[in-house]
């Protein structure tokens, strides 16, 4: 990712972070609307799960310019996801729900450029997670 894309992802995440609880709740509602069977994979408390997701996204966003430092953690996360029963096909509805949530939370601030930068960031993260799942 180039410096401008990283800046766009960081600035937009900073806008969502103060309302991370509502954002996580919007995200999971949307995900289970798009892909109802995925709900069965989530066995724990969804508020706690949302907090973990937002914290992990925060770490990833903070380190987009030094990905090598987080790749081991992202791969370990991917391996745990295989254990949760997540398959590679499940990453597409999650991306869709994430982009929908950002668009909903940010309104006009979620420009086409910002969206493209998020697609790039998600593709990199999900790619690393899936490589670990496949291993």
Contacts 24+ apart (CB under 8 A), 116-123: 116/5, 117/1, 117/4, 117/5, 117/6, 117/8, 117/9, 118/9, 118/12, 119/95, 120/1, 120/5, 121/1, 121/5, 121/9, 121/60, 121/61, 121/64, 122/95, 122/98
Binding mask 24-63 for ligand HEM (x = CB under 6 A): --------------x--xxxx----x--xx--xx------
User: Could you tell me the smallest distance in angstroms from the CB atom of residue 108 to ligand HEM?
Assistant: 25
Q: DSSP class of residue 109?
A: G
User: Could you tell me the smallest distance in angstroms from the CB atom of residue 123 to ligand HEM?
Assistant: 9
For the chain, the farthest-separated pair of C-alpha atoms sits apart, in whole angstroms, at 40
User: Could you tell me the smallest distance in angstroms from the CB atom of residue 56 to ligand HEM?
Assistant: 4
User: Could you tell me the smallest distance in angstroms from the CB atom of residue 52 to ligand HEM?
Assistant: 4
Q: Does 88 bind ligand HEM (CB under 6 A)?
A: no
| Contacting residues toward ligand HEM, per CB under 6 A | 38, 41-44, 49, 52-53, 56-57, 77, 80-81, 84, 86, 90-91, 94, 122, 125-126, 129
């Amino acid at each position: 990712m180039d410096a401008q894309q990283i800046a766009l992802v960081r600035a937009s995440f900073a806008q969502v972070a103060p309302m991370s609880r509502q954002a996580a709740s919007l995200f999971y509602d949307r995900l289970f609307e798009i892909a109802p069977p995925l709900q069965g994979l989530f066995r724990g408390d969804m508020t706690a799960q949302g907090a973990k997701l937002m914290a992990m996204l925060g770490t990833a966003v903070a380190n987009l310019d030094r990905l090598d430092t987080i790749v081991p953690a992202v791969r370990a996360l991917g391996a745990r996801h295989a254990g949760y029963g997540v398959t590679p096909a499940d990453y597409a509805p999650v991306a869709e729900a994430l982009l929908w949530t950002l668009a909903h939370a940010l309104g006009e601030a979620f420009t086409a450029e910002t969206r493209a930068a998020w697609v790039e960031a998600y593709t990199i993260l999900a790619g690393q997670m899936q490589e670990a799942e496949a291993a």
